[in-house]
Amino acid sequence: MTKDMTQGNPMKLIVGFALPLLFGFLFQQFYNLVDTVIVGRFLGVNELAGVGATGSVNFLVIGFCMGVCNGFSIPVAHKFGAGDYKGMRKYVANSAWLGIAFSVVLTTVTVVFCRPILELMKTPEDIIDFSYDYIVIIFAAIPFTFLYNIIAGVIPSPGDPNTPVSSLPYPTSRPPIPTPSPHPLPPPLQPSPHTHTSHNPSPPSTASPSP
């Protein structure tokens, strides 16, 4: 549903447009929270530390993807506001082609150099495998990240911020599906059989003392 943002009360239009975007950003932050809860609950402490060690590079790469896609939406919104629908369709098509190019290059570079990046960040040896297992999957899914963010950026450009936000609550709130860790946890320690040995003190002597 499109909406002409050039007609009506400016403050009401801006607030009505911004609130759904704000909720969308909050739901996107819940993704990281859900990852943390699942890893910490079902895997272990080292795995959780491995996820946490990828926070900065994850924010750098995924934040770049989101920034590029949001930039694509600016000329689309300009053309829609100007009533130039032919130019708007041209910018949408260019956004799709540029998104494909960016996603292919960025996915290739990040997946190939994923482990060297973690080593350059001096990720501890005991958690670097967990960090790699987590972040390489996110990097491999960069094309889907571009696809969602281009759609989520272009659709609100004609004044419809509600459609992209309506797709976020389900993947955030669905019940987690635990999966086995590629690095199984060690078995719990068993109590030693010598821990609970019984001590039977010898009965006191009843012999009378010698005179």
Q: What is the mean pLDDT of residues 194-207?
A: 48
pLDDT score of 44:
81
Q: What is the mean pLDDT of residues 106-122?
A: 91
pLDDT score of 43:
80
Q: What is the mean pLDDT of residues 99-107?
A: 91
Q: CA torsion sign, 20 to 145 to 48 to 50?
A: negative
Q: In this predicted model, what pLDDT tens digit does every residue of 60-94 receive, in sequence order?
A: 888 888 888 888 888 888 887 777 888 888 888 88
pLDDT score of 169:
53
Q: What is the mean pLDDT of residues 145-160?
A: 74
User: What pTM was estimated for this model as a whole?
Assistant: 0.64
Q: In this predicted model, what pLDDT tens digit does every residue of 10-24 receive, in sequence order?
A: 787 777 777 777 777
Enumerate the H helices of the chain as residue ranges.
10-42, 45-53, 55-82, 85-112, 114-120, 128-140, 142-154, 162-166, 169-173
pLDDT score of 160:
57
Q: Considering the chain, what is the average pLDDT of its residues?
A: 74
56, 121 in Cβ contact below 8 A?
yes
- Structure confidence at residue 166 as a pLDDT band (50, 70, 90): low
